[in-house]
Homo-oligomer: A and B are copies of this chain.
Amino acid sequence: MSGNWRPPSSTDVARAAGVSQSAVSRAFTPGARIAEATRARVMAAAEALGYRPNLLPKILQTNRSGIVAVVVGGFYNPYFAMTLEAFSRALTAAGRQMMLVRVDSDRILDGVVDQLAGYRVDAVVSALALTSQDAAGQLSKLRIPIVTLNSDLAGDWIRSVSSDNFAAGVAAARLLRERGGTRFGFVAGPADSPAQVAREAGFAHGLAELGLPPAMRAGGGYDYASGARAARDLFSSSDRPDALFCANDLAAFGVIDVLREDFGLTAPGDVQVVGFDNLDMAVWAPYRLTSFDQDVDAHVAVAMELLDLEAGATCVARTVPSRLVERESTRKGRR
């Protein structure tokens, strides 16, 4: 209708209710000193006008927006969806809002930092494989806390929470050995992912600890296609592995499908397969994948805790244990 409409302000409500603007503010502030009758009159006027308090002036004064920025690199991996879901719940429960920022892998720093700083976000959560050290530095200068998931970024205002990726790698080696694996293979994730690196190192360490030769290696991505490619690479050679640890579930699915489809091999009879993430799909009939559960809720709980740490001096890094969920892509152990 009118070109320059503006939402009703507390002053408008005050006028309508015949009170001062302060009274309106107090009516909407729990625990404020105001007569019940006045509050009722204000509320009636507010209801009639459709008034909602504007949060921005408060933010302007306190520099606390109640907004947490969550930075992700993409959504192709259902693991991100799980994380997002858990974060969303936790933030809502804490009365905060989530600003979702998607960046094309590398150049996070460009406009994004300016935007986040401009909106005065309370904190940044990065689910990025790798976060630009530069961007992190800029946020630190603005005293905006950063919580990093499965990354190894370090700095003054940076806290990190990770799975015990190395330990899981070791556990994978032990499990596969215990279940009768003899020739081991590792299906790698992207080289720039600290989680991938730690999982591989742990697996290698575990094998060495057991006196076994190092694993064959293929792959290089967290996606299905990368796993499929890895399986073709590994099984086209003469010396085929019979026990695989995959950097994540998505790659493991690709592996399993190619093994069955192209090579007529199934798990766990011909090859045992272990994944990482414990996606919903891990229970699906074609896979029934043994996998490490990252306990997303625990990750998020820790992250929420780290968000509100005020002192930025000490660099905090927390680890959340992952839990091995055995299904039928590995052989049964005695119980």
What residues of chain A have their CB less than 8 Å away from a CB belonging to chain B?
A: 5-7, 50, 52-57, 59-60, 63, 67, 70, 74-76, 78, 80-82, 84-85, 88-89, 92, 95, 97-102, 111, 113-115, 117-120, 138, 141-143, 224, 253, 257-258, 260-261, 280-281, 284-286
Contact = CB atoms under 8 A, between A and B. Distances in A.
B253 A284 contact: yes
A281 B141 CA distance: 43
A56 B60 contact: yes
Contacts of A224: 280-281, 284
A285 B232 CA distance: 14
Contacts of A258: 285
7 contacts: A54-B120, A74-B85, A75-B82, A84-B100, A92-B102, A97-B101, A257-B285
A197 to B, nearest CB: 26
List the 9 closest pairs (A to B, CB-CB), nearest first: A55-B118, A257-B285, A52-B117, A75-B81, A88-B102, A286-B286, A50-B141, A100-B100, A75-B85
B56 A120 contact: yes
Contacts of A286: 257, 286
Contacts of A261: 285
